[in-house]
Amino acid sequence: MPEVDGLVIAESAVALGRLSLTGLRQRLDGRNDARERRITAAIVPQSQSIIECLARFLLRRAGFHVESQVNVSGLGHLDLMVDGRLGIETDGAGFHMDRTSFEEDRRRWNVTTRRGIPILVVSYALLRSHPQEFIAMVREVVNRPAAAA
């Protein structure tokens, strides 16, 4: 199976508590397990969704430095922070369609805007069907000179 699919499956199992990351690592000690060790090294147990995992995989593969679940004062956690300059929020329709989620999303966007953190909000469809478009958007924002204060 493709590496990204293996990562999504393994990370989901670890994040849901169905598989121990330590136990998984202990099982991968053979010389033929290099690919699996690489996948396991990319697991982030705090990951909160398949979309987040996929975005992080694509960004790291493209050479970006990516942090997961970054705490921002007054906001809570951003799904991903790219090169310390760009926030990525990975949104699934099932979790952001009620009134409470709608209002919370706007509050969060206002906090990041006030703090000068640009945010891209991405969907599973974009990441899965148009990964190069996603990476191009990220490059455009990360490479843009900071706005004058």
Residue 147 belongs to domain with CATH number: 3.40.960.10
With contact defined as beta carbons under 8 Å apart, do 86 and 142 qualify? yes
More reliable by pLDDT, 64 or 106? 64
CB 42: neighbour CB atoms within 10 A? 18
User: How confident is the model over 89-112, as a mean pLDDT?
Assistant: 80
Structure confidence by residue, pLDDT tens digits, 12-45: 999 998 989 988 888 888 778 888 888 999 999 8
pLDDT of residue 27: 85
Residues 75 and 125 in one domain: yes
Residues 39 and 54 in one domain: no
Q: Give dist(CA 82, CA 93) in Å, integer.
A: 23
User: How confident is the model over 67-72, as a mean pLDDT?
Assistant: 91
For residue 54, what are the β-bridge partners?
A: none
The DSSP code for 128 is H
Residues 32 and 53 in one domain: no
Of the candidates 112, 115, 120, 126, the one whose C-alpha atom is nearest the C-alpha of residue 138 is 120
Helix (H, G, I), strand (E, B) or coil at 38: helix
Residues 2 and 23 in one domain: yes
Structure confidence by residue, pLDDT tens digits, 71-88: 888 888 899 999 999 999
